Amino acid sequence: MWEKLRINEDRFHRDFEALAKIGATSDGGVDRPAFSPAHSKARQWFLQRAAAAGLKTNVDSAGNHSALYPCGRPKAQVVLLGSHLDSVPSGGRFDGALGVLAALEVLRTVKENGLRFNTDLEAVDFTDEEGRFLGFLGSRALTGNLKTEDLSFSTTTKPTFRKALNSTGLTPESILSAARNKKTLSGYLELHIEQGPVLEAQKKDIGIVTGITGILSFSLTFTGIAGHAGTFPMEKRKDAGWAAASFILAVRRILLNKFPGCTATVGKLHLEPGAVNVIPRQAVLSLEFRAGDRTTLEKLESVLLSATEKTVRRYGTKLDIVPMEKTPPVPTSSIIQKTIQKTCRCLGLSSLHMTSGAGHDAQILARICPAGLIFIPSIGGISHSPRENTRWKDCVNGANILLQTALSLAETKDIP
Ligand code: HGY
Ligand code: MN
Ligand code: MN
């Protein structure tokens, strides 16, 4: 019976090391932004490893790369296992990559044991999870959660986006036509590092994610008046840099004082014209914020947007706001949570129910099928950094939980 089945640890480890070399940085991380040469190379490597294992490979019209093991009945639904091979700039080796490799390893393990189930199994690497252009681009396309306007970027981003698509043979139209019929999907499972400190602090092996954070982001442009840095009087300035700086600190105050458990980040800031001796005319910044429930997310949005109005009044600038990402918070499937918990008990692993403050493709898939997310500990809670690390033993535990949970689901006819 398949309950005793385990993944091949050595093969999984060799693959992890080989993949981590693609786009490797000298400080031990990886730099594989979506559509970069290193990212394309990693995706090709994944397809080659899958083909070498005799799996059926595919690249859909949104660039999602996948491998199928047809172990189900004729015209079976599929249990999809996946994550992403792109990284943030100067990121870590585990974020996303581990989930894709574990998915591939699950399929290989099942195939070499010749097991049959009710459903097929598919491993997928989603396009641009990290949002170089649009967060969860691939999973949103696959689930039919993309509209034309989602791909109409600002005039500065549009040419780079077009170029990135051209290099991979995609078009906005092809991306918009990648939606699958949700009836073909029986469920979705993702293994991921926690990217936070909870499992390590609580000394637990596995995190069973109950819900995933909602994320909103905007591009803000404060426009003031440029001038000579040495002659224009301080008291008469409309310095866009001051507006940006003041707003960034207001965000910090608001979050710390009024929204415990939520986060907000200004991760990008650009001043124009950007010269040492010119008062900044324009400050373009990103504002991203997250909350675990819809009501709090909406409240946070309204408080932060009214802080922008106060800033504009105080510094006499103008302001343009362009919405970017809008991903609502979602619960994961309670049935899948129970299956993961049972699997942890069978494997003698401790577990903890928890929410995810990081975004994952699982939250997009959860809109159209039962979805589950499995966490393993991150050393020091560090992620989106070359210092991101997880003990190899935990990676193997996570992959075995993914295997056993996936097989439980593949055996179930209809996951409620
Ligand atoms: O930004 C996130 O939460 C994820 O790592 N994409
Ligand atoms: Mn990430
Ligand atoms: Mn990730």
pLDDT in tens, 21-61: 999 999 999 999 999 999 999 999 999 999 999 999 999 99
pLDDT tens, position by position, 224-252: 999 999 999 999 999 999 999 999 999 99
Q: Are 124 and 222 contained in the same domain?
A: no
- What is the distance between the alpha carbons of residues 297 and 105, in angstroms, rounded to a whole number? 37
76-89 tens-digit pLDDT:
999 999 999 999 99
Residue from 85, 88, 216, 361 to probe ligand 1 pocket by mutation (most atoms less than 8 Å from CB): 88
Asked whether residue 24 is assigned to any structural domain, the reply reads yes
Q: Kindly state the tokens that stand for 175.
A: 């991306």
13 with 72, same domain: the answer is yes
User: Are the C-beta atoms of residues 106 and 123 closer than 8 Å to each other?
Assistant: yes
Statement to judge: residues 197 and 93 lie in one domain: yes
Task: Give the pLDDT score at 154.
Answer: 76
| Residues 307, 394 within the same domain | no
Q: What does pLDDT average to over the chain?
A: 97
CA torsion, ordered 299, 302, 303, 308, to nearest 10 deg: 160
* Structure tokens that stand for 167 in this block: 């290099």
Neighbours of 183 (CB within 10 A): 9
pLDDT tens-place string over residues 156-213: 788 999 999 999 999 999 999 999 999 999 999 999 999 999 999 999 999 999 999 9
Q: Specify whether the CB–CB gap between 389 and 92 falls below 8 A.
A: yes
Q: Which of 48, 130, 56 is nearest to 88 (CA)?
A: 130
pLDDT above 80: residue 415: no
Q: Please check whether residue 214 is in contact with residue 294, taking contact to mean a CB–CB distance below 8 angstroms.
A: yes
DSSP secondary-structure letter at 293? S
Residues 165 and 185 placed together within one structural domain of the fold? yes
Q: Is residue 303 one of the residues assigned to a domain?
A: yes
Name the residue of 136, 192, 195, 326 to mutate for ligand 1: max ligand atoms within 8 A of Cβ: 195
Domain match, 153 and 244 both: no
Instruction: Say if 76 falls within a structural domain.
Output: yes
| Residue 274, pLDDT score | 98
Q: What is the percent of the chain where pLDDT is above 90?
A: 96
> From the CA of 191, how far away is ligand 1's center (Å)?
14
Mean pLDDT for the stretch of residues 291-311: 97
The mean pLDDT of 264-293, rounded to a whole number, is 97
Asked whether residue 416 carries a pLDDT value surpassing 90, the answer given is no
The DSSP symbol for 143 reads T
Residue 331 has pLDDT above 90, yes or no: yes
pLDDT for 243: 98
Q: Whose CA is nearest to atom 4 of ligand 1?
A: 359
- Average pLDDT over every residue of 63-72: 97
Ligand 3 centre and the CA of 227: distance in Å?
43
* Residue 416 domain flag: no
Is residue 287 one of the residues assigned to a domain?
yes
Q: Is residue 131 part of a domain?
A: yes
Question: Among 267, 300, 326, where does a domain finish?
Answer: 326
Q: Whose CA is nearest to atom 6 of ligand 1?
A: 130
Residues 113 and 159 in one domain: yes
Query: What local confidence, expressed as pLDDT, does residue 414 receive?
Result: 74
Are 253 and 106 contained in the same domain? no
Substitution site in 30, 126, 129 for ligand 1 pocket (most atoms within 8 Å of beta carbon): 129
Domain boundary, last residue among 289, 305, 326: 326
The pLDDT assigned to 365 comes to 98
Asked, for residue 334, whether it belongs to a domain, the answer is yes
Q: Is the CA virtual torsion 397, 195, 19, 145 positive or negative?
A: positive
- Are the C-beta atoms of residues 121 and 142 closer than 8 Å to each other? no
β-partners of residue 126 are: 84
> Cα of 358 to ligand 3 centre, how many Å?
8
Whether residue 194 has its Cβ less than 6 Å from ligand 1? no
Whether 54 is in a domain gets the answer yes
Cα 51 to Cα 147: distance, rounded to the nearest angstrom:
33
What is residue 412's predicted lDDT score, i.e. its pLDDT? 87
The CATH number of the domain holding residue 181 is 3.40.630.10
The angle that helices 37-52 and 9-20 make with each other, rounded to 10 degrees, is: 160
Q: Is the minimum distance from the CB of 7 to ligand 1 under 6 angstroms?
A: no
pLDDT of 233: 98
Structural tokens at position 123: 């491993």
112 lies in the same domain as 255 = no
User: Do 320 and 364 have their domain in common?
Assistant: no
Q: Relative to the CA of 357, which ligand 1 atom is closest?
A: 3
Regarding whether 55 and 107 lie in a shared domain, the answer is yes
Q: For residue 358, which atom of ligand 1 is closest to its CA?
A: 3
403 lines ligand 1 (CB under 6 A): no
User: What is the band of 74 on the pLDDT scale with cuts at 50, 70, 90?
Assistant: very high
Q: Determine whether the shortest distance from the Cβ of 129 to ligand 1 is under 6 A.
A: yes
Which of 293, 326, 359 finishes a domain?
326
Q: What CATH number did the domain enclosing 219 receive?
A: 3.30.70.360
- The per-residue pLDDT for 1 is 81
pLDDT for 4 equals: 94
The first and second tokens of residue 221, run together, are: 């442009």
pTM confidence score: 0.91
pLDDT above 70 covers a percentage of the chain that reads 100
What is the rounded distance in angstroms from the CA atom of residue 66 to the CA atom of residue 247? 43
Provide the domain count of the chain. Answer: 2
Q: Is the pLDDT of residue 127 over 90?
A: yes
Indicate if 289 and 348 belong to the same structural domain.
no
Is residue 314 very low, low, confident or very high in pLDDT (cuts 50, 70, 90)?
Answer: very high
From 113, 94, 86, select the one nearest 31 (Cα to Cα). Answer: 86
Cα distance between residue 195 and residue 19, in whole Å:
20
The answer to whether 328 touches 145, Cβ cutoff 8 Å, is no
Pocket mutation for ligand 1, best pick of 194, 290, 384, 388 (most atoms within 8 Å of C-beta): 384
Q: How far is the CA of 130 from the centre of ligand 3 (A)?
A: 7
**Residue 237 structural domain:** 214-326
